Structure 1
Amino acid sequence: MEALLTSTALVALAEMGDKTQLLAMLLATRFRKPLPIIAGIFAATLVNHFLAALVGHQAAGLLDAPWFRYAVAFSFIAMAAWTLIPDKIDEDAPLKAPSGAGIFVTTLVAFFLVEMGDKTQVATVALGARFANVYAVTAGTTLGMMIANVPAVLGGEALAKRVPMRALQVGAALLFLLLGLWMLAGLLGWA
């Protein structure tokens, strides 16, 4: 349960103002069909985050040395700093569905590719390394992405004007920092 709740909270907050959330708003304003966009976001996130959690879990299993656990703890602290850097997306870039593909496929491909190397994917790798349950981490990070992106699709630009993105980014950064420090404290025998 800890893996699910931690993963959900971290990713939901880290996604606020992230480039994939901006992509969700952009898709919503361009295509104006929320259901296939939401379905595409869900499918892309589920696959992407399952693979990321699996990579993290496998890396933790292969590299069970203390230095690797320190690396995971420091990666959470680095994620805290990275979360404070706001993402931008080029809203003037042409965004058209590939020939023969619908809004779902366009969203699926766009989200999957934009999420590659994104801070929420890197966080999912770290969470997969931290917790022994790939499925709980995948479910939590996917739920966190949906918590952040469904309102972005449904509310679009109105949401961006009302939600204090900077405060959410700072909150996410604090959660990453606390998780990293908690791991370090455990490794040093302080917790």
Structure 2
Amino acid sequence: MESLLISTGVVALAEIGDKTQLLAFLLAARFKKPVPIVLGILAATLVNHGLAGALGAFITSHVSPQVMRWVLGLSFLGMAAWTLVPDKIEEEEAQVAQRFGVFGATLVTFFLAEMGDKTQVATVALAAHYPNPVLVVAGTTLGMLIADVPAVFIGDRLAGRIPMKLVHGVAAAVFALLGLATLFGLGAGLGF
């Protein structure tokens, strides 16, 4: 259960201000059809994070625990730094939306936007860190929806009121704590 809760919280925080959240704003403003946009976000995230979770589980089974501790600890610290850098949406990702309909456009653009994104990398690291990658993927997907669904429904009205630096700082602090706890073997009984 801890893996689900940590994964949900970390990704929900990391996703605020991320390019996929900006993409959700853009698609909502362009199409004004929230249900297919939300379903596209869900499908793209399940596929993307499912693959990331499988990679994390694969890495865990092929790397020694000592090496894994250092790789994960440093990865979490790297995620902390990366979270402090705001994302911008790429124009070509937004243009895909005009060819595939609302659901298809959301599915394709979100899947492509998530490739190599910090939430995908976080999913790999969390799935390698926790013993149940299915709960990690469920948590990261839920975290993605917690951050992106409100963007679809209330978009611009909400965007200006969120203290982005504070949210990114909290997310970075959570990643940093996970990294330090992993590196120093703290919380071994707590699942770290």
TM-score (norm 2): 0.92
Aligned positions of 1:7-156 closer than 5 A: 7-90=7-90, 95=95, 97-99=97-99, 101-156=100-155
Partner letter of residue 142 of structure 2?
A: L
* Offset, 1:170: 0.4
Give the conservation status (yes or no) of the 8 Å contact 2:8–2:142: yes
1:103-125 deviation per Cα after TM superposition (whole angstroms, max 9, x unaligned): 00110000000000000000000
CA deviations on 1:68-103 (whole Å, 9 max, x unpaired) are: 22111110011000000011125698635454x320
C-alpha distance in 1 between matches for 2:143 and 2:80: 17
In the TM superposition, what is the alpha-carbon distance from 1:65 to its structure 2 partner?
Answer: 4.0
Unaligned runs of 5+ in 1: none
What is the root-mean-square deviation of aligned Cα atoms in Å?
2.0
Runs (4+) of structure 1 exceeding 4 A deviation are 90-94
Amino acid at match of 1:44: A
Counterpart-to-counterpart distance in 1, 2:70 and 2:93: 40
8 A Cα contact 1:26 1:91, kept in partner: no
Indicate the structure with greater helix content.
2
**Structure 2 gap ranges (5+):** none
1:173 counterpart residue number:
172
Aligned residues: 189
* Residue deviations 1:111-156 (CA, integer Å, cap 9, x gap): 0000000000000000010011111001000000000000011111
In the alignment, the residues of structure 2 paired with residue 132 and residue 82 of structure 1 have an alpha-carbon distance, to the nearest angstrom, of 25
Does the 8 Å contact 1:17/1:165 carry over to 2? Answer: yes
Aligned identity (percent) is 57
Task: Kindly state the Cα deviation for residue 34 of structure 1 after the two structures are TM-superposed.
Answer: 0.5
